[in-house]
Structure 1
Amino acid sequence: MTAQQQHIVVIGAGYAGLAAATRIGRKHRVTLVAPESRFLHRVRQHETAAGLPEHRPALAEVVRGRQVTHRQARVTELDLAGRKVFLDSGEALTYDTLVYALGSRTALHGIPGAAEHAYPVERAAELAERMRTAARPGTVAVVGGGPTGIELAAELAEAHPAWQVRIVAAGQVGGWLSAKGRAHVRKVFGRLGVQVHDRSAVTAVTAAGLRTDQGTLDADLVAWAASMEPRELAAETGLTVTPDGRAVVDQYLRSVSHPEVYVIGDAAQVVVEGVGELRMSCATAQPMGVYLGKLLTGRTDRPFGYGYVIHCLSLGRKDGLVQLVHKDDSMKPKAVTGTAARLVKAGIVSGVLWNLR
């Protein structure tokens, strides 16, 4: 693989794809396919929704100095047998090796009205504009009790104190955290005036708010921060995928059905010995991209390894939570809160951008 220069096509410029492309581009010729011109710093979308400045460096700046050419286009089809990538620009790219890093998107789970009335985190800027231009303050309901939903609810409540913010979850909001972590999230929500609706599964979204299995909740705006789902292209192309559509890979992140294709980030089902199946997140996606860059440039020949250390949550601009975890992502009792946690989270988020190269 590394004896001579190859042409490697990377599709997707998220945390995994961009980290891989910049490193592979030190030795091989890379074509990076992505429709956007700037990097989407997804873990900061709650800040965008609150109207704070975006931190989105130009892809051209991130790949500067590497043998990386950015094609600003969408992939419409993959011909794995012919090793071709077809773009919506009409162009067809040939490759020696393909890196599939199309990531994931917010899952609407087929909930009636969600597509018409809810703002998924990908539309954070639109949500910010709606709140900014509203004739009067109202109620915004955040659906999802995971990290994204918690960060979004806290950020909106702090940035818009005149609005009533609700967080609605099918299970317990922050239920995966330790007792100390859950207690701190509740404390911050209490301070910010966020109404918590646990164990309220959303059954429909309407122009007037939410219908849940516990009753109706009024809302002028609905922000959707539920679980993530992979893009359909992997399954449509013929890669072996899990029931939820993630490509099954081996210990070197190669497709088990097409070993000339590497799949990284949220698009891949990655199982690490002693850790288990990795969850979809920036925390796992970027290390995959870094690893693959080393593998394809001959700087490692070891299988991919990973172990969890912490969960980080920002709770507005003044507070945060750093939850310590075991290697397998199970919770430890200890958690750091307050200003110290906020600074740790800010440092990690800034380091993500630096680590793209």
Structure 2
Amino acid sequence: MQHRIIVLGAGYTGAIAAGRLARRLRREDVAITLVNAEPDFVERVRLHQLAAGQDLKSRPLPAMFAGSGVMLRLAKVTGVDADRRTVAVADAGGTEELAYDTLVYALGSGWSPQDVPGAAEHAYELAGRAGALRLRERLTRLDAGQAVLVVGGGLTGLEAASELAEARPDLDIALAVRGGLGDWLSPKGREHLRKVFGRLGITVYEHADVTAVGADRVSTADGRTIPAAVTVWTTGFAVHPIARATTLEVTGTGQIVVDGTMRSVSHPDVYAIGDAAMAMGPGDKPLRMSCASGGLTAWQAADAIGARLTGDKLPATPIRYFNQCVSLGRKEGLIQYVTADDRAVRAVLTGRLAAVYKELVCKGAAWGVANPTFGLPSRRRRVTRARAATAAGLPTSASRE
């Protein structure tokens, strides 16, 4: 009988993992199902461009996985029973339970208002396509000179502020950051960031801890009031809540605790990748929520599942970082090189060349999703019943009910 692998979520991580598994394993031995609520792949790293008025290339999932051996199931995941090994899904036709032998949990994350009063009611977000389109529509109704405030000084905030300022120079774009602008960057990186922000006319409010969001302003912990006809919230992400409702071991934030192969420490038949996983990187530091982490964890999990099912050697390549890529509009960029554990070093790449570099990274990420099997050996390995049972954490004599 076929070993049933279900992958939840067709973002960067889930799509890559599903395709990589299809390349490694024989179709006669495994049935790979990819579950996703939307029919198209969403380039999350480009959603600030979508919000700024640019149109993104359509990437239908059925076309991407045609002929791959991956079965696409368009449905919303409503629950996971990790003890019974089932996934509950819902679509226009009703609800259904899908049984699995191995589960790859890649439901990712969404935006988080972080319990700040008024944020959920008044702020706009960029964590999903629906949010980016809602912000895009709102921006089209703003008159020249109106204020747009981006809250959050991470990569998403920097990219959103610069993209909006370049696309809408008629608006008053500002950025509120809790610490200093780009304070995690190298001195040269911070200097370039300030130069670009100055050229784009972006007002920066530093050490501004936003404590409340209103319809036309925000308040900060030090008593300041900052005008904002539109507030864009980019202060962090929250993982999908489904894992927290299961018997899987999760952290206080709802991330699934995994080992170095992305395997759940409590349920050996479950793997978690991307933002959904609490995975440790170099220096025994948790991997940050990012596209960069997602791709690496997807490869690790897919290769580990394949190895356990076929008796191959487990992957031993450590997960590490190389750089942080920041687009600052369409013509400027900043590539901050980092240590393996994600700390900035002196070296940076800036200017037009950095913008081209970042664009190639974005295109490469999308290409990797559409071609997740590239570079893998074309010869698929055989899955035996004993290996499949062991990989799923069952006694080798166990049979499927």
TM-score relative to the length of structure 1: 0.95
Task: In structure 2, give the amino acid aligned to 1:354.
Answer: W
The whole-number CA distance in structure 2 between the counterparts of 1:259 and 1:56 is 36
Question: SS state of the match for residue 120, structure 2?
Answer: helix
- How far is the alpha carbon of 1:135 from its aligned partner? 4.5
Distance change (3 Å), C-alpha of 1:68 and 1:199: same
Q: How far does the alpha carbon of each residue in 1:41-95 deviate from its partner, in whole angstroms, 9 at most, with x for none?
A: 1111111111111134111122122121221111111111211111123111011
Task: In structure 1, give the amino acid aligned to 2:162.
Answer: A
The whole-number CA distance in structure 2 between the counterparts of 1:336 and 1:19 is 28
Asked if the contact 2:282/2:320 (under 8 Å) is kept, the reply is: no
Task: In structure 1, give the amino acid aligned to 2:115.
Answer: G
Q: Which residue of 2 aligns with 1:45?
A: 47
Q: How far does the alpha carbon of each residue in 1:6-26 deviate from its partner, in whole angstroms, 9 at most, with x for none?
A: 110111111111100111123
Indicate whether 1:189 and 2:197 are aligned.
yes
Q: Which has the larger radius of gyration?
A: 2
Asked if the contact 1:157/1:194 (under 8 Å) is kept, the reply is: yes
Q: Which residue of 2 aligns with 1:153?
A: 161
Distance change (3 Å), C-alpha of 1:17 and 1:304: farther
Distance change (3 Å), C-alpha of 1:273 and 1:130: closer
Q: After superposition, where does 1:198-237 map in structure 2 within 5 Å?
A: 198-214=206-222, 215-237=224-246
Asked if the contact 2:303/2:315 (under 8 Å) is kept, the reply is: no
The whole-number CA distance in structure 1 between the counterparts of 2:3 and 2:244 is 26
Aligned alpha-carbon RMSD (Å):
1.5
Q: Which residue of 2 aligns with 1:87?
A: 89
Q: Which residue of 1 aligns with 2:378?
A: none
The whole-number CA distance in structure 2 between the counterparts of 1:238 and 1:174 is 39
Moved more, 22-31 or 248-257: 22-31
Asked if the contact 1:308/1:326 (under 8 Å) is kept, the reply is: yes
The whole-number CA distance in structure 1 between the counterparts of 2:351 and 2:240 is 37
Q: Which residue of 2 aligns with 1:325?
A: 338
The whole-number CA distance in structure 1 between the counterparts of 2:332 and 2:250 is 39
Q: Which residue of 1 aligns with 2:60?
A: 58
Aligned match for 2:77, one of 75, 78, 81: 75
Task: In structure 2, give the amino acid aligned to 1:21.
Answer: A
Asked if the contact 1:140/1:220 (under 8 Å) is kept, the reply is: yes
Q: Which residue of 1 aligns with 2:275?
A: 266
Question: SS state of the match for residue 91, structure 1?
Answer: strand
Q: How far does the alpha carbon of each residue in 1:296-317 deviate from its partner, in whole angstroms, 9 at most, with x for none?
A: 2336512462111111100001
Asked if the contact 1:294/1:300 (under 8 Å) is kept, the reply is: no
Q: After superposition, where does 1:166-177 map in structure 2 within 5 Å?
A: 166-177=174-185
The whole-number CA distance in structure 1 between the counterparts of 2:221 and 2:283 is 38
Task: In structure 2, give the amino acid aligned to 1:352.
Answer: A
Aligned match for 1:315, one of 298, 309, 328: 328
- How far is the alpha carbon of 1:233 from its aligned partner? 1.2
Asked if the contact 1:137/1:162 (under 8 Å) is kept, the reply is: yes
Q: After superposition, where does 1:4-15 map in structure 2 within 5 Å?
A: 5-15=2-12
Task: In structure 1, give the amino acid aligned to 2:32.
Answer: V
Question: SS state of the match for residue 88, structure 1?
Answer: strand
Q: How far does the alpha carbon of each residue in 1:203-230 deviate from its partner, in whole angstroms, 9 at most, with x for none?
A: 1111112111231111111111111121
The whole-number CA distance in structure 1 between the counterparts of 2:328 and 2:120 is 27
- How far is the alpha carbon of 1:256 from its aligned partner? 0.5
The whole-number CA distance in structure 2 between the counterparts of 1:322 and 1:233 is 35
The whole-number CA distance in structure 2 between the counterparts of 1:286 and 1:238 is 26
The whole-number CA distance in structure 1 between the counterparts of 2:272 and 2:107 is 9
The whole-number CA distance in structure 1 between the counterparts of 2:174 and 2:190 is 17
Q: How far does the alpha carbon of each residue in 1:303-350 deviate from its partner, in whole angstroms, 9 at most, with x for none?
A: 462111111100001110011111111110111100110111011110
TM-score relative to the length of structure 2: 0.85
Task: In structure 1, give the amino acid aligned to 2:13.
Answer: A
Task: In structure 2, give the amino acid aligned to 1:257.
Answer: S
The whole-number CA distance in structure 2 between the counterparts of 1:343 and 1:136 is 30
Indicate whether 1:22 and 2:19 are aligned.
yes
Identical aligned residues as a percent: 42
Indicate whether 1:352 and 2:361 are aligned.
no
Q: Which residue of 2 aligns with 1:252?
A: 261
Q: How many residues align?
A: 354
The whole-number CA distance in structure 1 between the counterparts of 2:316 and 2:60 is 32
Asked if the contact 1:275/1:329 (under 8 Å) is kept, the reply is: no
- How far is the alpha carbon of 1:293 from its aligned partner? 2.3
Task: In structure 2, give the amino acid aligned to 1:164.
Answer: D
Task: In structure 2, give the amino acid aligned to 1:111.
Answer: V
The whole-number CA distance in structure 2 between the counterparts of 1:254 and 1:290 is 13
Asked if the contact 2:165/2:173 (under 8 Å) is kept, the reply is: yes
